[in-house]
Amino acid sequence: MNTQMEEVRLSLGHVELAGHLFGPADGVPVIALHGWLDNANSFALLAPKLRGLRILALDLAGHGHSGHRPAGAGYALWDYAHDVLRAAEQMGWERFALLGHSLGAIVSVVLAGSLPERITRLALIDGVIPPTSGPQDAAERMGMALQAQLRLDSKRKAVHPTLEQAIQARMKGLVAVSREAAELLAQRGLMPVPGGYTWRSDSRLTLPSPTRLSEAQALSFVQRVACPAMLVVAADGMLARHTALLEQLPFTREVLPGGHHLHMNDESGATLVADCFNRFFGIP
C-alpha cells in the first residue's frame, strides 16, 4: 500500500483544478473523478490500496478546492470531459486510464466513448450513463431549467453554525454517507464564513440540466468504448435496480455489498473495491 499523497494544482487556462496525486511516479497513469457534490477526498481510502498506479484524483470544476466556472457558464458533461483532457495534457499523459464514481463514472464513459484511442482502461463505481429522457420532454425540461437559473440569484447557501452540524447534514444528504465519508468530504468541501461553515461547491451544480440524452444516445458512448472496462455495482446503491440497463452493458461487472459510496464509507468497503480493481489492472 502506498499512502503518500501530494497536493496539486493545474491551470487549464479556462479554470484551475486542484487534486491529489497518489502512487509511484512511474505508475500506470490514472485520472480519478468523483461524484456530484463530492471532491477528491472521495478516493482517500481507495487510492492508497491500488498498486502500481499513478493516480490524479481531481476536484472537478465547481467542487472542493477547484475553481468555479465563469458567470454565464455551466457544468455540462462534455465540459468536464474537456477539463479531463486538459488535465491529462498538463500531466503529459497521451493515454491514460479513468477511475470514476457516480457522476465521475458517467464523465469517464462519455470521454472513453468519444475518444476511445486515448483511454487505456475504465474502472467505474456505481455509475455508467446519465439520466435519460424521451424527446417529448425536451421543451418542458428546458423551461424548468431556465426558471431555476433565474431563481438562483435570490438563493443563498445554507450556513451551518458548527462543523459538527455541517458533517451531520452531509451524512443525511440526498445520498446518505457514513460519518467517516462525511468527514473526508468536509475536509476539502467546507469553508468558514460569518456564522459558521458552508460548502465550497458552486451553487450552479444544483441546477437541473436543460437537456437530457435519449437512452440510445447515452448507450452510444458505451458502445464505442474500446478499452477493458469494469463496473462495480453497489448492492444497495443507485444502479442495482436498473437490471435492464446492466444487462446491456458490455463491461465486466462485480456486485459488492454496500451503498452508493461503498469505496469511501469505510475501510472494508474500500478494500473490497481495491481488490476488484487491483485484479482488473493486473498489477501484482
Give pLDDT, residue 173. Answer: 86
pLDDT tens for each residue of the chain, 284 residues long:
556 899 999 999 999 999 999 999 999 999 999 999 999 999 999 999 999 999 999 999 999 999 999 998 989 999 999 999 999 999 999 999 999 999 999 999 999 999 999 999 999 999 999 999 988 889 999 999 999 999 998 788 999 999 999 999 999 988 999 999 999 999 999 999 999 999 999 999 999 999 999 999 999 999 999 999 999 999 999 999 999 999 999 999 999 999 999 999 999 999 999 999 999 999 76
Helices (H), the chain: 77-91, 103-114, 138-152, 163-171, 179-189, 215-224, 243-248, 262-265, 267-281
**Known active-site residue 102:** yes
Per-residue pLDDT, 263: 98
Q: Given this model, what pLDDT does residue 37 score? A: 96
In this prediction, residue 136 carries a pLDDT of 87
Q: pLDDT tens digits, residue range 161-180?
A: 999 999 999 999 889 999 99
State which amino acid sits at residue 140. E
Are 160 and 166 in contact by the 8 Å Cβ rule? The answer is: yes
Q: How many Å apart are CA 108 and CA 232, to the nearest integer?
A: 14
Tell me which of 42, 102, 108, 201 is the catalytic residue. 102
Q: All 3 cell numbers of residue 96? A: 491514460
Model pTM score = 0.96
Best CA proximity match to 54, nearest among 85, 78, 19, 18: 19
pLDDT at 3: 64
Looking at residue 116, its amino acid is P
List C-alpha distances in Å: 173 to 36, 62, 124, 170: 12, 18, 22, 5
pLDDT reported for residue 1 = 57
Q: Which domains does the chain have, with CATH numbers?
A: 5-133+214-281 (3.40.50.1820)
Neighbouring CB atoms inside 10 A of 136's CB total 7
Give the whole-angstrom CA distance, residue 44 versus residue 52: 16
